[in-house]
Amino acid sequence: MEVHHHSGLSHKKKNFREYFFEFLMIFLAVVLGFLAENLRERISDHKKEREYIESLVQDLKSDTALAVKTIYAVNSQMYGMDTLEMLLTPDINKNDSAVYISYRQQEYLHNENTMNFSNRTITQLFSSGNMRLLRKQSVSDQITDYYSAIKAVDAQKEYYIDYFHKCLEIYQAIYEFNAYHSRINAEGNFVIPEFVYGKIHIATTDEGVEKIQIDD
Amino acid sequence: MKELKKYKSTIEFTKQIIDSYRTDIVRLKKQAALLIGFLKKEYGLS
């Protein structure tokens, strides 16, 4: 391939100023590129930080709403358990109404009223090292405190479930569920409540109560 | 009688644990509300 050289172009030696100017241009290009990249990353990090915070606020709102429901359910459960505890006396079988109510009240021991916290955002923040996105230490500290509080509550929940199951293990020996369930319909209501009176008992002795045949 | 006593004492203990759990949730609910307010203020969220 033929190469045409321009006769007017000569390979003039560059002086120091030209070298310096070239160096300055390259240096500025690199620095500006670096600054632009840094700025882009910062803008992206700030955007991510805000997205995380917005998502966390949504999680916290869900937690708050669920906490209200759970507190209500736990209150109700505790009232039910109080009543049950009060009714369970050694001579309960002398009072048909008390026996009937205690069978109803034991249902408060059927459902665990625990809550699962929305930990989606908080887990993402902690597990993927995204806590670094939070620029303010006070924000990071408060989120960490909240996360620690969740873990403490979850530990208490384990005790709750454990003791709840202990109650369930014992109550089979206390109630006559075959007799009880034969008297309730699919919706869980007594078909004819008065039929229950005198037909079901609470085991108040180790020997157990006399089993009464249910006449249908 | 022993079973009934055991049942009652388990109920009593369970109640205490549930009560602690409830107290924890009440505290956490307040903490969550405070955190929401704090984050909204810090990030200018509506």
| Predicted structure pTM score | 0.74
Nearest residue of B to residue A168, measured between CA atoms: B7
Residues with Cβ within 8 Å of B30's Cβ and at least 6 positions away in sequence, in order, are: none
pLDDT value of position B27: 95
Residues of A within 8 A of B38 (CB-CB) are 139, 142
Write down the ipTM of this complex. Answer: 0.91
Domain boundaries, position A136: 16-196
Distance between CA atoms of residues A144 and A129, nearest Å: 13
**How many CB pairs lie under 8 A apart between chains A and B?**
132
CA-closest candidate to residue B43, choices A133, A175, A120: A133
Per-residue pLDDT, A204: 64
Within a domain: A205: no
Those residues with Cβ within 8 angstroms of residue A76's Cβ, 6 or more apart along the chain or in another chain: A108
Does a structural domain hold residue A204?
no
Q: What is the pLDDT along chain A (216 residues), one digit of tens a residue?
A: 555 555 555 567 778 889 999 999 999 999 999 999 999 999 999 999 999 999 999 999 999 999 999 999 999 999 989 998 888 888 888 887 888 888 888 888 878 889 999 988 988 888 878 888 899 999 999 999 999 999 999 999 998 898 888 888 887 788 877 666 666 667 766 655 555 566 667 776 544 444 333 343
Residue A92 lies inside a defined structural domain of this protein:
yes
Q: Is B41 near chain A, with CB under 8 Å?
A: no
What does DSSP assign to residue A191? S
DSSP A107: G
Identify the closest residue of chain B to A203 by CA–CA distance. Answer: B4
Q: Is position A212 within any domain?
A: no
Scanning B5-34 for CB atoms below 8 A from A yields 6-8, 10-15, 17-22, 24-29, 31-33
pLDDT at A173: 80
Q: What are phi and psi of B13, to 5 degrees?
A: -70, -40
**Residue A190 distance to chain B (closest CA, Å):** 25
Per the listing, tokens 């709403």 go with A65
Tally the domains of chain A: 1
The pLDDT tens digits of the residues spanning B13-36 come to 889 999 999 999 999 999 999 999
Which residues of B are less than 8 Å from A50 in CB distance? 43
Determine whether A164 is exposed, middle or buried from the number of CB atoms within 10 Å of its CB (0-12, 13-18, 19+).
buried
Domain annotation covers residue A68: yes
